[in-house]
Chain A
């Protein structure tokens, strides 16, 4: 019995040794094409090169197991916007594929709703050098907008801080940035961006907050501006805050606008308010 058991166990071990483990394909971070001229034929010959995830650059299908499926993605190589293939499933899909290797890709945020393609790249070439990844054009848009709106307001308060008095108007003036519109290329698509200050919010620090029109006239400060406030009680330092209320929107050229939830930029200052009390003396 024991001998039979040993034989059986041995057979299982031997079988396990000989059962081939399924080959696991490498993860290809990106595959692009290298175009070389065949010296005999004088014709362009396409070689696919791939960066193995976390590893070397190899020739596709040279002596490596290849992924069962590759997905398109948009990126940027030395020549500019381009498309490449990767084994990581993303949100780009083919909208058009041309015989010279160009493609048009669409951005599909929700695979369950293939009709909801947010935008399409223009016709872009296949990457011919290792691409940099741009997963989402809105990232570039977001970076651009945040860089633009970074400077906070620089308010001019009259009377100046330390000279505020109850019962007298305090004026706040602040320069209002002009409306800004631009077009840039992000991840292979041309996008329109519009940025504007849609209002100036003044928190007077005593419990009252007002929003004023974002115009140079309204925010001209003393004496013609309309951003004024009368403090009714004194305080050692009201937290007076002036904010630009930004509105930023972007779109793929020809597509509907999308708004970005941009935070206000704010400048705060301590604003003491004194009280002048009349005293009748003899």
Chain B
């Protein structure tokens, strides 16, 4: 009787051991799926082809104001740099709509600069993240320029992911405006 009891306990123990060690089918955490905070060495926010990308960037969701501001700063610097140098290819790196590209080209030789733009002279304030997913984020922000142009402008910035990089597709007047469709619309190649 005692032997049977011991044998039974051994079987139960083995069963518990197997259950405890059996894989649960959960995804194996991989460095490529880890979303890191801004400033982390492994986070790669690819903007304007001037920074390097990674697999993480393809699925990365912007979740912080700092991150959004970093992207917006890079995009708007690219915008002004492209206009300053009358460089269509540079503009194409930072915009995602033909309308925006046409707007930039209309400013070639027209927009006044007191000095060549630098990214440090583009600052953002009052930023609020209104919407964000892996393909699009929308932020209310005030852009302050100094050095090459002077002034500030507040608005809703709609940023889409294109070819693993962020591009600007829309600028709206008010936070509650109808910018949602800009995140749902179809991106098209620029000509």
Report which A residues bind B (CB closer than 8 A).
Answer: 31, 33, 37-48, 59-62, 66, 70, 85, 96-101
Contact at A41–B79, with CB atoms within 8 Å? yes
Interface majority SS (helix, strand, loop, mixed), chain B: mixed
CA distance in complex: A31, B172 (Å): 15
Number of A-B pairs, beta carbon distance below 8 Å: 92
B99→A40 contact, CB < 8 A: no
Query: B98 near A66 (CB under 8 angstroms)?
Result: no
The answer to whether B152 and A45 have CB atoms under 8 Å apart is no
Residues of A within 8 A of B30 (CB): none
Residues of chain B with a CB closer than 8 A to A46's CB: 170-173, 177, 179
Chain A residue at minimum C-beta to C-beta distance from B101: A100
The stretch that binds A, out of B5-13, B18-26, B34-42, B143-151, is: B143-151
Distance between Cα atoms of A40 and B178 in the complex (Å):
22
Q: In chain B, residues 174-191, which have Cβ atoms closer than 8 Å to a Cβ of chain A?
A: 174-179, 181-182, 184-188
With a 10 A CB-CB cut-off, give which of A38, A43, A44, A97 has the most chain B CB atoms.
A43
Partner of B153, one of A38, A60, A97, A98: A38
Known: A38-B155, A40-B153. A61 touches B103 (CB 8 A): no
A-B pairs, 10 with minimum CB distance? A61-B176, A42-B107, A97-B185, A47-B173, A40-B151, A40-B153, A100-B99, A99-B185, A99-B97, A100-B97
Bound together, the chains give a CA A218 to CA B135 distance in angstroms of: 69
Report the bound CA distance from A98 to B170 in whole Å.
12
Contact in complex: B153, A99 (CB < 8 Å): no
The verdict on B14 contacting chain A, using a C-beta distance below 8 Å, is no
Contacts A38-B153, A38-B155 given; does A45 touch B172 at CB 8 Å: yes
Are A38's CB and B171's CB within 8 A?
yes
Q: Does B164 contact A (CB under 8 A)?
A: no
CA distance A46 to B170 in the complex (A): 8
Question: Any chain A CB within 8 A of the CB of B100?
Answer: yes
Q: A43–B185 contact, CB under 8 A?
A: no
Residue of chain B at shortest CB distance from A44: B103
Complex Cα distance A66/B104, Å?
Answer: 32
Given A41-B153, A42-B111, A44-B99: A97 in contact with B186 (beta carbons within 8 A): yes
B160 in the interface (beta carbon within 8 A): yes
Assess whether B78 is interfacial by the CB under 8 Å rule. no
The answer for the CA separation of A185 and B92 in the assembled complex, in Å, is 35
